[in-house]
Amino acid sequence: MLPKQTLVVLVVFSAIAALVKAAPEGKENGKPENNSATSQNDSGADKAWKELLDAMKPPALPPELAGKAPSPEQKVEFNKFLATASQKAAEKAHDFYTKYPNDSRADEARQREKRMLQQTAAFEKQSAPPSDEEKIAAKINEAMGEAMKKKAEGLPAVLTDLEKRLKDLQKEYPKEPVIWEQFMVIVQNGDEATAKRLSKELIAAENAPDEVKDAAKGVLRRLEAVGQPFELTFTAIDGSKVDVQQMKGKVVLIDFGRHGAARA
């Protein structure tokens, strides 16, 4: 088997879930849970509290990302957006307990500021530019996704489309091992003619990794052995010479036994 596996990654933004967990519980429409006289009479505090709660609402997923895996670049931009949103919410919390230190919600505002600052740091860390490996993995996933759109036409159509897309990627990244490995998916799932043709191409390819070439050679040996005469000569346990080719037309049972000694 190849040392790497096909990277099929459909990313779900856990960031939204994190924001949902940070959203207020037990409060609606910006109303304080503790209706102290100070809170009830201070419309400025109520307004500031509602602004804080609104700032902490989880953002909607951008329409262009709905229902499909984001590209590495889109992930970076979305995490930047989440980092900015979390920072703004932290600032709202800070402003609240600074302006209204005696309000019954001041301590909670401090806790919310702490959580939002933690989220800001986490999102900023995830906003690093994508690595080349991540970009390639995303492009392979996209190629597979596009090829799967032909599944109604049958597996051969899917594999034909995938091979074309992988060869296009190969032109862009001629020495990238993970792209070469994807061709083995086609070899292992295609018909005999496709498997033989593509195996020979992989074996002859200058930039194909040795692991891929070895895997292709193994497939080719198995395919080319089908229907060929079985050649085997050995010395049986009684010392007699055995040549399977001389037993044509006969039923032959070969038992190598527990210790590897051949009997016919």
Residue-wise pLDDT for 77-96, tens only, equals: 888 889 999 999 999 999 99
Residue 106 has pLDDT above 80, yes or no: yes
Range of the domain at 149: 132-225
Q: Looking at 101, 125, 149, which one is the last position of a domain? A: 125
**CA atoms lying within 13 Å on the CB side of residue 165:** 19
Q: Which two tokens stand for residue 63?
A: 């329409």
106, burial (CB in 10 Å: exposed 0-12, middle 13-18, buried 19+): middle
81 and 107 inside one domain? yes
- What average pLDDT score do residues 120-144 get? 86
217 and 244 inside one domain? no
pTM: predicted TM-score of the whole model, two decimal places: 0.47
| Domain annotation covers residue 181 | yes
8 Å CB contact between 129 and 76: yes
Residue of higher predicted confidence among 70 and 53: 53
Share of the chain above pLDDT 70, in %: 73
Total of domains in the chain? 3
- Separation CA 178–CA 67 (nearest Å): 26
24 and 78 inside one domain? yes
| Domain annotation covers residue 184 | yes
Specify the amino acid at residue 199. Answer: S
| Domain annotation covers residue 2 | no
- Separation CA 81–CA 101 (nearest Å): 30
Task: Residue count of the chain, please give it.
Answer: 264
Please tell me the predicted confidence (pLDDT) of residue 240: 79
78 and 155 inside one domain? no
Specify the amino acid at residue 177. Answer: P
8 Å CB contact between 8 and 15: no
214 and 118 inside one domain? no
153 and 77 inside one domain? no
- What average pLDDT score do residues 19-39 get? 45
137 and 200 inside one domain? yes
